[in-house]
Amino acid sequence: MGTFLVESYVPNLDSGTAAELSSRLRSAVSELKRDGRTLQWLRSFAIVDEETYVWMVEAPDADHVALVHKRAAVSVDHIAVISEEPG
């Protein structure tokens, strides 16, 4: 498992759009967990002036993170590993 920080550029980002993105991503994480995937939503925030939405998740690998985005129909611009458990 690792902790991933995920960034998406969102034109015209505002607090309502950020809340909607969080809802879609949380729903996708929940669906994938029901399917047996190991994921854990951690937190999210929006940098409105930079039109950037950021969220953090625990997942086995970046492929799982990309799958969340695909399921939620949210584009992703950057996925960074911020910590990994040795294994």
**Residue 86: band (very low, low, confident or very high) from pLDDT cuts 50, 70, 90:** low
Parent domain of 73: 2-84
Residue 6 forms beta bridges with which residues? 55, 79
SS (H, E, C) the chain: CEEEEEEEECCCCCHHHHHHHHHHHHHHHHHHHHCCCCCEEEEEEEEHHHCEEEEEEEECCHHHHHHHHHHHCCCCCEEEEEEECCC
- For the chain, the domain total comes to 1
CATH number of the domain that residue 39 is part of: 3.30.70.3090
pLDDT tens, position by position, 26-79: 999 999 999 999 999 999 999 999 999 999 999 999 999 999 999 999 999 999
